């Protein structure tokens, strides 16, 4: 049995280390403090009995659980990231452990009256009677993705201690900077040496994902002309007003707050402006590759139309692809999803196979030659003060890892 106390202790030891990444940095890892947890993980992997434990100059960690079989099976891997998002502070995390959750409001912070309520976060009611770990309302928790690391390390420790569970060679990988889109950028797939892998980076129990958004980032720059407003007639060009026209010309319902499931969107996530220049920063998302390309074309076409109205060069746009839907790379090897699905079923977990409305290291890794579906890690409400994780979900995720290893080991 996986020990609840050990899972809690391990998870808390990880989340109380600040590993927030920084998109403005050009180093890898993007913040020096990520080394604190990375180095501790290296020591822990060695201590639990893994072999070939390495950490490179960019803080990518790899380790091996050797096969205990007398025949060959594919080498598989499990991967998680140790950075946390810069969207909300991850410094001085103070986890709160709620035992036998009663289904009512959880007061996270009495002083600031911060409440985690099932009236707003209805998923909480799934975990009535379970042990839930929350924040104190002033930070994120870091279950994204320290729950995943907890589960992988705990599963490897369990397999080491229980050699009667037969398995092939298993590789473990932990990465920095996933939250700023760079988690797989310097991942050495050849060195990792697995035929396929799984990221433990999903949300609620049962999630199993092999589809994600195609993603791009767009920067729209609008040029204006500053003239004294008292004498501006026919001369002043207010870039902010033109930028507003640009924003309002995109489909108003194709935004995150009005879309779900396979529906894509345009998302304006940052704007800076004054009369002479306004900069709009968008992300573009769609599961369908043709729709994705059409969205980029819509933005180019709108740029051209407004330039024909206000003068060539008034608006410029730069669009850069970020990652693509891993479905294209996973579908030819669907047995790797089938194995994870079967593992869940054997453990009494109902698989929730659905598209990721976001990205994952697994997307980039799949295009780098390492097919990599995503499995639940158990957390909810990532990237904010209301983040929580049920301990029982982390235990189940740990059991899924062990069961996948066992199932692969049975396939001569």
Supply the residues annotated as catalytic: 83, 178
Confirm if 45 and 170 have CB atoms less than 8 A apart: no
d(CA 75, CA 151): 19
Work out the burial of residue 303: count CB atoms within 10 Å of its CB; fewer than 13 is exposed, 13-18 middle, 19 or more buried: buried
Tell me the CB-side half-sphere exposure of residue 149, using CA atoms within 13 A: 30
Angle at the Cα of 41 from the Cα atoms of 37 and 46, rounded to 5 degrees: 155
For 68-109, the DSSP string reads: --SS----EEEEEE--B-TTS--TT---EEESS--SS-EEEE
Confirm if 114 and 108 have CB atoms less than 8 A apart: yes
d(CA 86, CA 272): 19
Tell me the CB-side half-sphere exposure of residue 269, using CA atoms within 13 A: 13
d(CA 345, CA 400): 10
d(CA 1, CA 229): 74
Instruction: List, in sequence order, every beta strand (DSSP E) within 274-394.
Output: 277-286, 315-323, 352-353, 374-376, 388-390
Residue 236 is given by DSSP the state: -
Measured distance between the N- and C-terminal CA atoms of the chain, rounded to whole angstroms: 27
Going by C-alpha positions, the residue among 188, 145, 159, 135 that lies closest to residue 67 is 159
Full strand arrangement of the beta sheet holding 170-175: 51-55, 61-65, 170-175, 76-81, 196-202, 374-376, 207-209, 352-353
């Amino acid at each position: 049995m996986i020990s609840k106390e050990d899972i809690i202790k391990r998870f808390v030891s990880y989340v109380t280390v600040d590993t927030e990444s920084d998109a403005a940095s050009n180093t890898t890892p993007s913040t020096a403090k990520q080394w604190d947890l990375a180095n501790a993980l290296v020591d822990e992997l060695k201590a639990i009995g893994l072999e070939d434990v390495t950490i490179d100059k960019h803080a990518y960690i790899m380790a091996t659980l050797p096969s205990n079989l007398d025949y060959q099976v594919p080498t598989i891997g499990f991967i998680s990231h140790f950075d946390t998002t810069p969207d909300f502070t991850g410094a001085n995390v103070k986890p709160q452990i709620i035992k036998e959750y009663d289904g009512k409001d959880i007061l996270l912070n009495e002083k600031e009256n911060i409440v985690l309520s099932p009236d707003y976060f209805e998923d909480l009611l799934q975990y009535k009677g379970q042990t839930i770990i929350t924040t104190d309302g002033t930070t994120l928790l870091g279950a994204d993705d320290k729950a995943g690391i907890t589960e992988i390390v705990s599963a490897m420790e369990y397999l080491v201690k229980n050699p009667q569970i037969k398995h092939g060679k298993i590789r473990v990988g932990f990465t920095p900077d996933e939250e700023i889109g760079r988690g797989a950028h310097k991942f050495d797939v050849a060195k990792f040496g697995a035929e396929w892998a799984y990221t433990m980076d999903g949300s609620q129990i049962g999630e199993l994902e092999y589809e994600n958004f195609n993603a791009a980032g767009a920067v729209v720059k609008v040029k204006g002309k500053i003239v004294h407003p008292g004498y501006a007639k026919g001369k002043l060009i207010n870039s902010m007003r033109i930028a507003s026209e640009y924003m309002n010309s995109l489909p108003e319902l194709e935004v995150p707050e009005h879309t779900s499931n396979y529906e894509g969107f345009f998302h304006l996530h940052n704007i800076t402006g004054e009369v002479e220049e306004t900069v709009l920063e968008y992300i573009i998302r769609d599961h369908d590759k043709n729709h994705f390309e059409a969205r980029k074309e819509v933005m180019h076409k709108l740029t051209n139309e407004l330039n024909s109205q206000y003068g060539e060069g008034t608006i410029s746009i730069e669009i850069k692809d970020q990652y693509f839907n891993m479905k294209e790379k996973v579908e030819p090897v669907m047995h790797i999803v089938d194995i994870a699905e079967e593992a869940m079923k054997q453990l009494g977990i109902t698989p929730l196979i659905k598209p990721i409305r976001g990205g994952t290291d697994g997307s980039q890794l799949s295009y780098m030659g390492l097919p990599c579906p995503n499995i639940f890690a158990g957390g909810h409400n990532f990237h904010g003060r209301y983040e929580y994780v049920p301990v029982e979900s982390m235990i189940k995720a740990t059991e899924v890892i062990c069961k996948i290893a066992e199932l692969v080991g049975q396939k001569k």
